[in-house]
């Protein structure tokens, strides 16, 4: 998951927590300068787009997303 996010946002700092121990329910915090000027909805769309393959094949069943702007 981290690698998929970093492909879309190379400077991303990513923290992931497995919520249930089943490795398919996650909380994720992403910090990236790519979020500059983006609404919360657009930020979440960026993350969802990066993780679409893992969503489509079932590796990710549930995902809680938090995003923060990474100041450079």
Can you tell me the distance from the alpha carbon of 60 to that of 36, in angstroms, rounded to the nearest whole number?
A: 26
Q: Is the pLDDT of residue 72 over 80?
A: no
CATH number at residue 22: 3.30.300.90
Tally of domains in the chain? 1
pLDDT tens digit sequence for 9-55: 999 999 999 999 999 999 999 999 999 999 999 999 999 999 999 99
Look up the domain containing 54 and give its range. 2-69
Is 49:6 a contact under the CB 8 Å cutoff? Answer: no
């Amino acid at each position: 998951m981290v690698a998929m996010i970093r492909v879309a946002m190379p400077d991303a700092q990513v923290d992931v927590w497995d919520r249930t121990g089943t490795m398919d329910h996650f909380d994720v915090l992403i910090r990236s300068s790519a979020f500059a000027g983006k609404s919360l909805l657009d930020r979440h769309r960026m993350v969802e787009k990066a993780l679409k393959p893992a969503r489509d094949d079932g590796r990710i069943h549930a995902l809680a997303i938090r995003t923060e702007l990474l100041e450079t």
